[in-house]
Structure formats: C-alpha cells, structure tokens
Amino acid sequence: MVLDRGFSYLLLLAFFFLILFSTNSFAQDPSDTLAPESVTNVDAFDTPNDNGHSITVSWELSSDDGAGKNNVVVYEVYRSDSPEGKFEKRGMVPAGENTFEDQGAKEKDNANYLPSHKNFYYRVRAKSDGLFSDSEISLPAYAYGQWYHTGKTPVLVAVILFSVFAITFITLARKGKLFYIRPLAGIEAVDDAIGRATEMGKPILYIFGLGTADMIATIASFTILSRVAKKTAEYQTPILIPCYDSVVMAVAQETVRAAYLEAGRPDMYKEENIFFLTSMQFAYVAGVNGIMLREKPATNFYLGKFYAESLILAETGSIAGSIQISGTDEIAQIPFFVAATDYTLIGEELYAASAYLGREPVLLGTLKGQDWGKAVVIFSLILGALAASFGFQFFINLFRIQL
Amino acid sequence: MRREVPLLITAIVGLTLIVVYFVPHPPFSDLRDLFSDWFGVIAAFAIYLGILSLLKINVDKVYRKKSGWGFSIVTIMGFLLFVSVGLYEGSDFGEYGTSYYYLYDRIYYPLMATMFAILAFFIGSASYRAFRARNLEATVLLLAAFFVMLGRVPIGYYLTSWLPEGFRMGSLADWIMDYPQTAGQRAVMIGIALGIVSTSLRVILGIERTFLGGE
Amino acid sequence: MGFFERLLKIDRRIIFTLIGIAIALPLFFNVSMFVETTPVVKGVYEVVESLPEGSKVLVSFDYDPGSMPELQPMAESFFRHCFSRNLKVIIMGLWPQGPLQANWALDVILNEPDIKAKNLRYGVNYVNLGYTAGNEVVILRMGSNIHAAFPADYYGTPLDDLPIMKGIRNFNNIDFVYNLSAGYPGTMEWVQFAADRFHAVLGAGNTAVQAPLMYPYANTGQLVGILGGMKGAAEYEVLADRPARGVRYMFSQGIAHAVVIFFVILGNVAYFATG
Amino acid sequence: MHPSPDIGIWIGGLLTLGIFSFLYGDNPYYKFCEALFVGVSAGHWFITLFWTVFIPKLLGNIGIAIHTFRTEGFAAGMSDYMHWSYIFGGILGFLMILRLFPKIGWISRWSLAFVVGTTAGYYFINYLVSNGLMQIQKTILPLTSVGNIILVVGTFCGLIYFFFSKEHKGAFGGLARVGIWFLMITFGASFGYTVMSRMSLLIGRMDYIFGIWLGMIR
C-alpha cells in the first residue's frame, strides 16, 4: 500500500516533469524575492478610429519579461488626471503584451466615463507574484473622435464600385438599352405550373416562409408574387397565401389586389384567400400542412426566408402530389429544397428571379451591374491566388478590414 | 403622403446606416445603436400585432362556434396562463426556480423540442424519396451526402479500417467538408452578398417598392 | 404492381416507424463494442487516472442548455470518474448558465449508489464557485489569485470558509483543469491563458462542431486531450468502463445513420429496378 | 419500469407523445397539443418582449429622459437625445398596430419604411463585408496544395454558374457546369452533416420518454 502510493507519486512527478519539458517552460527561476525591472518608454495616445472615449497605452517590456529574472506575471495600467494626483487602476494584461486600450464609457452618468479632449497621465506596473515596480509617468494624452475609420477603406472602395456599377446600368436601362438575361429553370417552370393548376382545376399555394417584410428575400418574393398573381388572374386560378407575419400578409394582399387589377380581373380577387395563420414556427408549419393535405394544391411556391420547416413543408407537399418550386437565401436550407422540390432558385437566383419576373428594364439593369461585380470578384480571386502562389502578400492585404 | 413619405424614410435611414459604418465620430456612432433599438421596438410591436391577430381569429372562432372552436379555447387558455404567470414573476421571469421557468421547462420546451425532433423522421423519408441518381447532378449530390453520413458512423469506420490512417471514411468525409463543400458554400455566399447589395441599393433608391404594396 | 414498384410507393409511416425504432431501441442497451477509443480522449482519461487521491481538479462549465445532448454526458462521466477516484472537484463557469449545468450533472452522479455510499460533502469534496463575468480576464485573474476572481461560491459562502479551498491560491495548486465548452469563451481561452501562461495541465470536452478547431492544441500538448461531441463522450465512458448516456446516445446515433443510409440505397435500387 | 413521480414530467411526456402522433396522421390529440403550443408560444413571446424590450428599452429610456428634463431643465434634457428620441421609436411601433384598422392602416407604411430602410442599410454593409470581402480574402490562397486548388477553382466555377447576363455555352458553359457540381457536393454534404444534429434532437426526446419519464432505461 505504502509502496503503491509512493509509486504513484513518482509517476505523477515524472508526469509533471514531462509536461514541463514538453512545453519548454522550464525557465521559472527561484528569484521570487526580487521585484521585476520596471517597464520603459510609456506612451499614451488617442485610440485611432473610434468615437473618442478611449486612450491607448504602449510601453517597452520589462527586462525581466521572458528574460532576466523572468518573473513578470502581469502588467497593470494606472491612470490619473494630473501627474501628482491619485492614480487608479484601469486594467491589466498578461506578461508579454505591451499595449493596453483604456476603453471608457461615453455616458456622463457612467462610473467608467472617459471624457473627450481631457488630458490624462498613465503609469504601468510590472508585477510578479506579490512584488512590483512602477514605470515613469507618461506624457499627457487626450481622447478624441475621428470622422473617418481608416481601417475600413476596402469596404468603402467596394461600396463605391458596386454602387457605380448599379447606377450606371440603371441609367443605361432608363435610356432604353435592353440587357440579355439567361433563362433560369425555376422561372421557366412558373408559367407551366400555373397552366397545370388551371387544367387540374386546383389552387396554387404561395408561401413566404418565416421572413418579415423587411428581409431582402421577402422583398424579392413580393415582386415574384406580383407576377404570379397576374398570371393566376389571367388563368382564373385561385391563389392561397397563408401568412406567418401580419405585415407580410397586408403587403401580400395589396400586391395581389394590384396584380388582379392590372390583369383586368378585380372581380376575381378574394381577400380571404390571403390570411394570417400564426407567427409560431412549427404551429405555422402544422397549419400549412393541413391546407396542403385538404386542398391538394397543384403547385406550391416556397419563396422567401425559410428555416428548419423547409423539409417538412416540401415533404408534405410531395405527399399531396403538388409540383413544387422553391427558393431561399438561407444557405442551410437550400440542400433540403434541392433534394425535395422540383425546382430550386439557389440563393442569388432568387433575387435574380425577382428582377427577371419584375420585367422592368431598370431591374434587369441592376442584374447586369451585379454581374459586373461578380466579374470583379472573380478577377480578384484569380489574381490574388496567383500573387499568393508567387509569394506576394500585398494582394491579400488589399482585402484586410479592421473592424 | 402614402407613397412619398415612406420612400423618403427608407432612403434616409438606409443611407444613414451606410454612412455610420465609416464614421466613428459622434453623433453618427450613436445612431447605429439608436436605430437598432428603435428597430427592436417596432419589431416587437409587429410581433404584438401578430399576437393580436391570432387572438382575434381564435376569439372569433369561439364566438361563432366555428369548427374546432374547442381547440381555440385551448390556445387562448395557454396564452393567458403564460402571460399571467410571466407578468406576476416580473423582469427575472426566466430564471431557474421561478414558476414561469417551470411552465417553460415542462410545457413549452417539450412541445418545441419535439416539433424539431420530428424533422429527423422527415429526413428519413426525404432521403428515401429524393436522393436518387436521376442524372449526373443528382448523383453528385447523392454521393456527397452518402460519404459524409458514412464517415460519421461506426460502419464507415469498420468498412475502411484496413486502409492506412488518412484514407479512411472519416477522413474522406472531413476532406469533403473542408474543401469542395467550402468552395461551393463560398460561391453561394458571395453570390448572395452581391444580390443583397444590389437589392438593398434598389430599395434605398426607391426602385424596388413592392414592399409598400399596390396603390 | 411488382415488388419494386410497391417499394417505391411505400407508405412513409413505415419509414417513420423504422426510424423511431432505430433511435429508441439502442437506448436500452449499453453496447460499447462499436466505440473505438482514440488517443486524444485517452489523454484526458489517463491524466485523471494518474492523479493521487485528494488531488484538486478544476472544472469550468462554459456552455448552456443548447449543447446539453453533447456536453452533459461528458460532465457526468467526468464527475463520476473524479468522485470514484476520491479527487476533489472545484466547479466554475465562464458562461452564466454553466454552474447550473454543473448542478444538474451533480444531481445525477451524487445519486448513483456507489458514489452515494461515499457520503461526499459540499465544501469538502466538491464546491461550485458559480459564474463570474469577464471571460478570459477571469482566467487571467485566477492565474494570480483565485480568491480575487471568486470571493464567494455559488451560494454566497466566502471561499475562506470552505475547507476544500484551503491552500489553493492559483493554478499552481490545481492538479488538473478540465473545460467543457461550446464556443467563446471556452477551450481556446483556457489554452491561451491557463495552459500557455500559467502552465496548467488542461483537458477539454467540446461540441462536435467546435472540436476540429481544437485538435491542433492536442497535437502540440497544450491540451492533454480532448473529447469531441457524442463520440468523445462515449469513448470516455468506455475507457472508464462505465458505459452510460454517452454510449447509449452514440449507439443510437450510429444505428439511425445506418438506417438512413440503408434507405438511400434501397430507394435507388427500387428506382433503377423499375427503370 | 420506474415512472417519474413528478407531475410536470408527466405533462411534458404526454405533450411529447401528442406531437409525435402527427407522424401517423392528423388527430384530435395532436390538434390539442398544437393549439396549446400556439397559445403558449404566443404567451412566451408576449412576456419575453414585454420584459426585454418594452420595459427596459422603451419605458426605461423615456423614463430617464423625463427625469433629466425635470431635474436638469429643458436644454440639458434636449441635448440628451439618446434617451428622449426613443419616443419616436415608440410612435413608429404603435403605428404598426394601426394595421388592425383598415381605414387608417396605410399609415403603418411609415414604420414599415423605417424597418425596411434599417434592414437595407445594415444588410448592404454586413453582407458586403462578411459574406463578400471576408470570403474573398479567405479564398486568396497560394495554389500549392490540392486542397487549395480545389477551393479556388470551386469558388471560381460556382461564381461562373451565377452569371445571369451571359448564356451558358461553350467554355463558359463548361465552367458553369463544373460550378453546379461543386454546388451539388456542397448541398449533399451539408444534408449529410445536418442529419447528425437532427438525430441528436430526436435522441434527446426519446431519452426523455423512456428514461426520465417512464424510467425504463438506466
């Protein structure tokens, strides 16, 4: 028993030695009785690219940090509003680091308030376990806000570039220039699907998913609905739209009413066919499932923002024997739609479909602008990959964004 | 009033938020937080609107004794139960040990988790029905799914345990996830980014206005 | 209608039933033969196994109920292992929900007959220090003084009044640190601060999604080992020779996957057989 | 078998079974659970928003503004726009509710316009940065390993597929075709990967029924 325990202690000891050797951190010198050397060249300056309530402090490491006595554990940073005043602790960083951002609050009533345009003095304390030494006091520094964030230039360039593309092609389109847009399988299927519903004498089901009216996917879907509704008015096929969001419902009602008016069949419009179901994800799914199984619609459209319910809807729709056309920009759900529906508008294709079906030359113009953006992206990819292969780092740095 | 004011609001708010991104100086830096809080408040009202519509429909059903009005009573009772207990508990209603937490844990959570779990069954039937090698694209889809699934189960391990490490099913699955899967994902993501940028721009410029509905 | 045509039109309730059985049935068996153990999990197990009785182990719970199916079995098997080896367990959390997760795991383990027989006492054999805000800075502060980071435990008792905390000042007095993590702050921060700066002996349990990002640290020895997802949990239970929830979950998941794969194959066979 | 003595566990178990009964077909048991679910989730939303948005954000900020006006006077109050301006948020939110009244419902377009403008502004930047520039940056890799080449070529061909203003013909069409294959691998692999996480949810529910509730597993 005694031997056993002794043996396990030995093992443990051996184990710790192993760990210590393997991490090469054996330099812990037994000089704990001496304070580490203080840090030098303490410099305080306004933190760049911020709203003006933060000062950055930098210094040169103590000579006992990573070398010498090697006993620095942390650096503590102290601040005061006068060199003689009382210094209060603002925070600490572990040994090996030589900057600290003194981030204050912007609200006056906050205890951590750090006013702009007021001078402060800093001091850094190098600390070992129990002992410490202070640096000299820094020159005064004050915080102020900047009008432009220099780290975000790549984004600004991209914003300008893409906006110029879009506006150029919108202007060209307004002047009457027509642009070629290739056919998309899902869009081609729309007209056929409505025709099929007419032949079968069954309704069409249009689902926006769980998106609210402000989401881009929902906005794209409104445009597509406007076109689909016009067709259904021409073919005299009823269209059912159970809604998840009451605002989406109101907009959908107005869109469909306008489309029927445009098709010259305002008498066909039935407001009760566009109704609010519930705004609870799975309760909504259950409700839509019920409609599918009862009404057996000829065609189901799933266009908009979808989450986990995508597969349940698509599977139930296939039980009901409907043709299904889907499209979403929710990447995680695209696989389910691709696997379980007949046609899928993949991500960007959904927005393209909306521009395409909107039939306005201006919308097609922005699509053309979008393609120019894509060309720039592809070009940078190829150029960047080649540059990186030959060891040029500058190209990657062009895309580096400071957040 | 009905059309111009909303379009103006959209344009001003949208442009401001783009500018705010580049300008750290106040008051711009504050606008970001302010707008997102307002957004939260409006979105909360929109959800309350949904709840009101829901209650309206259900009360209506009970009042007119439409089919299934009994279930509407269940809905209304469930709503009242949670709201009354939640209001009574106060702002720390969600903490462990409160009676609201008990209701959440024993009623809401089982219902929600089971709804999600039902997906597993549908995945089974979808993989039976939909994963068929109809054409080249479908076959590629099928094979990728097949290898990734196989790479995560013991059978996959036993089938290929005779191969040297790094060539087994698990490594193949990881490789598919890390390279071809990531490549395709990036193409989709970049495409969506460009589409959103261009659609947002259309919205801000007032070209895309269907969200306001017809006139 | 031929056999394959009928197979193509099979009622999906049959598929649903098979999936239900495939998931539920394996839960009744503690079959550990399908779990092959890997060196990264063995790393954690062997360190705990090598600690002498009375050694002090720190466990940080850095997750919330969202990751329970994966991480809770890990917490339970780790507690079981520590208590059966008479180690002293100090619990803390960098996530607000963490200490609560620890209490749930304690509830399960302290009621198991062989552990219950040991009559373990709070404050002597184990303690829950609770949650402190500050993410990695908390780890940093613990590096110089644990009492400064946690002045009192989860129930408000000052640390000095707890026998288990006697003689514990910083990581030098802790024999092993174990971290259960589902994101930030989590394993990455423990590696960078506790292991790299203060030379703590560190092991971790992660969700399946996060684990691949942490494997490099296990290769360099910054982590003695790591448990990844349900499979990692199952492996640990097999190593400790106490198959429990992790093994059952893993078995069930394996069978369910196999059934889905079987359906994919069957669907294609029927599709091609009918032309 | 040792069923749980806790009545709450029984309720949770019975509700779980009720939802599962949908797999067989629509039935009154399921309908009951669904109706309850609709009600309690509406209640849960109501309470959560009440205590996390309305009280702290709306009333809290306006309350602070009123306090400032009272104690520090009008000028100081006005300069504290971060608080009093919340009243606008409140008004815009309230206009949303007017949808319920068809006659004046159109005025809720103002709030919708604000919400749409906010989303458009946020999305414009956020997607450009994290879905666009960041992804491009990650894909600029030296073509020195098979993996890197696949990453660059796959992303390249995938983007070619998304070209709308050029016909998919000839070499361009060939690249787009390769792009579709990459997309299909992506979708197949994500499907396979998601199967795992969905299954673990179901495992959790089954363990609840047979373990925690009925006490048949241990």
pLDDT for res A329: 92
Q: How confident is the model at residue B203 (pLDDT cuts 50, 70, 90)?
A: very high
Residue-wise pLDDT tens digits, D161-181: 999 988 889 999 999 999 999
Residue-wise pLDDT tens digits, B133-189: 888 988 999 999 988 888 777 777 777 777 776 777 877 887 888 899 999 999 999
Q: Are A280 and D41 in contact (CB under 8 A)?
A: yes
In which residue ranges of chain C is pLDDT below 50? none
Interface test with B, best of A315, A336, A360 (most B CBs within 10 A): A315
Q: Which residues contact B151 (CB under 8 A, 6 or more apart)?
A: B169, B170, B171, B172, B173, B174, B176
Interface test with C, best of A129, A289, A293, A318 (most C CBs within 10 A): A129
Q: How confident is the model at residue A33 (pLDDT cuts 50, 70, 90)?
A: low
Query: Does ipTM surpass 0.90 in this model?
Result: no
Surface of A (102-161) touching B: CB under 8 A: 106, 145-149, 152, 155-156, 159
For D21-145, where are the alpha helices, taking DSSP H only? Answer: 28-49, 60-79, 81-84, 86-97, 108-126, 134-139
Residue C193: its chain A contacts at CB < 8 A? 94
Q: How confident is the model at residue A349 (pLDDT cuts 50, 70, 90)?
A: very high
pLDDT for res A31: 47
Q: Do the Cβ atoms of B52 and D88 come within 8 Å?
A: no
Residue C23: its chain B contacts at CB < 8 A? 120
Q: Which residues contact B142 (CB under 8 A, 6 or more apart)?
A: B131, B132, B133, C264, C268, D188
d(CA A168, CA A362): 11
d(CA C177, CA C185): 15
d(CA A239, CA A232): 7
**Pair of tokens at residue A103:** 């981030």
Residue A92 contacts C, CB cutoff 8 Å: yes
Residues in chain C: 275
Query: Topology of A33-134 in CATH?
Result: Immunoglobulin-like (2.60.40)
Look at the alpha carbons of C80, C85, C86, C91 in this order and tell me if their dihedral is positive or negative. Answer: negative
Q: ω before B27 within 30° of 0 (cis)? A: yes
Residue D163 contacts A, CB cutoff 8 Å: yes
Q: What are phi and psi of B117, to 5 degrees?
A: -65, -30
Interface test with A, best of C45, C144, C174 (most A CBs within 10 A): C144
- Mean pLDDT taken over chain C: 88
Number of domains within chain D: 1
**Interface partners of B (3+ CB pairs, < 8 Å)?**
A, C, D
* Residue A28 pLDDT greater than 60, yes or no: no
Residue-wise pLDDT tens digits, B58-71: 999 999 998 889 99
**Pair of tokens at residue C93:** 């959390």
Residue-wise pLDDT tens digits, C151-189: 888 888 888 889 999 888 889 899 999 999 988 889 988
Q: How confident is the model at residue A25 (pLDDT cuts 50, 70, 90)?
A: very low
d(CA D23, CA C203): 43
Q: Measuring CA to CA, which residue among C248, C220, C200, C201 is closest to residue C47?
A: C201
User: Per the domain annotation, does D150 fall within a domain?
Assistant: yes
- CATH no., domain A179-359: 3.40.50
DSSP-derived letter for residue A301 is E
Q: Which domain holds residue D166?
A: 141-218
pLDDT for res A30: 46
Q: Where in chain A is the domain with CATH 2.60.40.10?
A: 33-134
Task: For residue D110, give the 3-state DSSP assignment.
Answer: helix
Residue A22 contacts C, CB cutoff 8 Å: yes
d(CA A53, CA A47): 8
C219-252 as b/e: b if 16+ CB within 10 A? eeebbbbbbbbbbbbbbbbbbbebbbbbbbbbbb
DSSP-derived letter for residue C122 is B
d(CA A271, CA A285): 22
**Pair of tokens at residue A61:** 């490491």
Tokens 């435990």 found at = C153
* Nearest residue in chain D measured CA to CA from B92: D51
Residue B122 backbone class (left: φ over 0; alpha: ψ -120 to 50; beta: rest): alpha
Residue B53: its chain A contacts at CB < 8 A? 246, 276
